[in-house]
Amino acid sequence: MQARPVFLKILDYLSIIVLGVSTYLALVFAPTEAVMGDVQRVFYFHIGTAWVGLMGFVIAAVSGIIYLVTKDMKWDRFEVAAVEVSTVFFFITIALGSIWARPAWNTWWTWDPRLTTAAVTELIYIAYFMLRAGLEDPEKRARFGAVYTLLGGISAPITFMVIRLFRTIHPVVIGSQSAEAQGGFSMTSDMKVAFFFALFAFTIIFIDMIWHRIRLGNLQDNVEQLKLKVTM
Amino acid sequence: MKQPTPSFLKATLAIASKDLAAEFRSRELLSAMLVFSMLVILIFNFALELDVKVRQSVTAGVLWTTFAFAGTLGLNRSMAVEKDRGCMDGLLLAPVDRAAIFFGKAISNLTFMLVVEAIVIPLYALLYNETRIFQLEFLGVLLLGSIGYISVGTLLSTMTVQTRTRDVLLPILLFPVAVPVLLASVKASGGIITGAEFAEILTPLNLLIVYDVIFLAVSYMVFDAVVEE
């Protein structure tokens, strides 16, 4: 096995540092929100994880398309890495949102468009892993995986548009607010610092994790090839 | 000597008619889908206590859930038959565009689903004295929804028959991706039943058409990647 590249090592340490700083900014530095109080601090990590989660799903769909065109297994490993890391981050987003919703909306869960879309999206990518688990041929697994991430990537935005026909109470902090939203607020400049730093921090952590996952994918491939050699 | 290759349309129709001919001789698939649909409605009848008041709001939902479940049954079966008897290899060897296989299978699957709908809808109307479902708009939504559901379903069932978990996997893959079709169809057909304004139905209807066009196009483009050996 190759040793960790220097740049990856640096990225590992950087990830730990930015996570620490971001935690400090979110929990101590940012002012307490006037109406909701301390629970609003969940917001920084909620958006941070949602950002990388959604970015990962888009990356996965794009690398799926590239795989279908080039048939290079490298893109399949990239796609799996993106989906796997994003599914975890997206689950954290949903859990954090739920923690916030309990005091703000007085319920853990509601069938709001964003929440429903998030749940459906998460289910799509869980189904993705079940599809891959059902296939033994790595090349077929890669092809089917790429097709499914593509379908999921197209379906999720349409799901959001359809469910919006029902109604929404999810606040929109950036951009225009809907009249029925509950729990919205506007950010002060200190909040913005914590907010943008959280986005930056999670992007770094995301890149670091994807890199590790791709290395793991390469190792898995090597093991499979060695196993084939032994049985032959 | 050059082999004569049939035109795209001819090949598509040939595949569809072979499926339909086989089905109308054995009627295994249609009868299973029909009996299953009636059982689902029967269960809904007791689970939701479908009295006059409840029916006002849930008729569209009950019907679409029934068709979605019956649809997966049909999709699974129609692809499993091709795979188990080695017919898929034969189809792939035929000198036709792979997309013709997709459209042929999609047309026959759609026909099965429409036949089931054509029998279940009057039965539902008879059982629950619900004549409002005989509206042209309602039937139009039914057709659009079925097209979207079957186009993505045909693609996914081609994938799932090749996996180890096959029958179990299809609904798990299909339902989350087909959520927009089902929700938009329920919204649109529910609006039609309760006599909502046309403007209210227009948005889900537009989304339904958008979904149909996008997913037919995507399925057509990626089908090659799903069947190649």
> Into how many domains does chain B fold?
1
Residue A125 CB neighbour total at 10 angstroms: 23
Q: Most B CBs within 10 Å: which of A143, A151, A163, as the mutation test of the B interface? A: A151
Least confident of A38-47, B32-41, B107-116: A38-47
Closest by Cβ to A161, choosing from B152, B165, B207: B207
Asked, for residue B90, whether it belongs to a domain, the answer is yes
Asked, for residue B17, whether it belongs to a domain, the answer is yes
Which of A57, A151, A150, A164 shows the shortest CA–CA distance to B183? A164
Instruction: Dihedral sign for Cα A129, A135, A137, A139, please.
Output: negative
pLDDT at residue A112 is higher than 90:
no
Least confident of A2-16, A62-76, B109-123: A2-16
Asked, for residue B3, whether it belongs to a domain, the answer is no
Q: How far apart are CA B113 and CA B151, in angstroms?
A: 12
pLDDT digits (tens, 9 = 90+) for B65-104: 999 999 999 999 888 888 888 888 888 888 888 889 999 9
Q: How confident is the model at residue A89 (pLDDT cuts 50, 70, 90)?
A: very high
Contacts of A153 in chain B (CB under 8 A): none
- Spell out the alpha helix ranges (H) of B129-197: 136-160, 166-193
- β-sheet bridge partners, residue A37: A33
Q: How far apart are CA B229 and CA B225, in angstroms?
A: 9
Asked, for residue B132, whether it belongs to a domain, the answer is yes
What does the pLDDT average to over A70-91?
93
What does the pLDDT average to over B31-50?
90
| ipTM summary value | 0.88
Residue type at A183 in one-letter notation: G
Q: How many CA atoms lie within 13 A of B199 on its CB side?
A: 0
Q: How confident is the model at residue A181 (pLDDT cuts 50, 70, 90)?
A: low
Asked, for residue B18, whether it belongs to a domain, the answer is yes
What does the pLDDT average to over B201-207?
88
Percent of chain A's residues with pLDDT above 70: 91
Asked, for residue B19, whether it belongs to a domain, the answer is yes
Residue type at B157 in one-letter notation: S
Greater model confidence, B8 or B1? B8
Angle (deg, nearest 10), helices B198-227 and B98-128 = 140
Asked, for residue B1, whether it belongs to a domain, the answer is no
Residue numbers of the domain that contains B93: 8-227
Percent of chain A's residues with pLDDT above 90: 48
- pLDDT of the residue at A146: 94
Which of B69, B147, B163, B210 shows the shortest CA–CA distance to A128? B163
Question: What's the gap in Å between the CA of A118 and the closest CA on chain B?
Answer: 11
pTM here is 0.87
Q: Which residues 83-122 in chain A show a CB within 8 A of chain B? A: 120-121
Count of A-B CB contacts under 8 Å = 89
Percent of chain B's residues with pLDDT above 70: 97
Contacts of B203 in chain A (CB under 8 A): 165
Which of A164, A185, A231, A227 shows the shortest CA–CA distance to A32? A185
Q: Which two tokens stand for residue A192?
A: 């913005």
DSSP label of B1: -
What average pLDDT does the structure give for chain A? 87
- A137–B contact, CB cutoff 8 A: no
Which of B139, B144, B150 shows the shortest CA–CA distance to B206? B144
- pLDDT of the residue at A225: 86
Asked, for residue B2, whether it belongs to a domain, the answer is no
- pLDDT of the residue at A183: 67
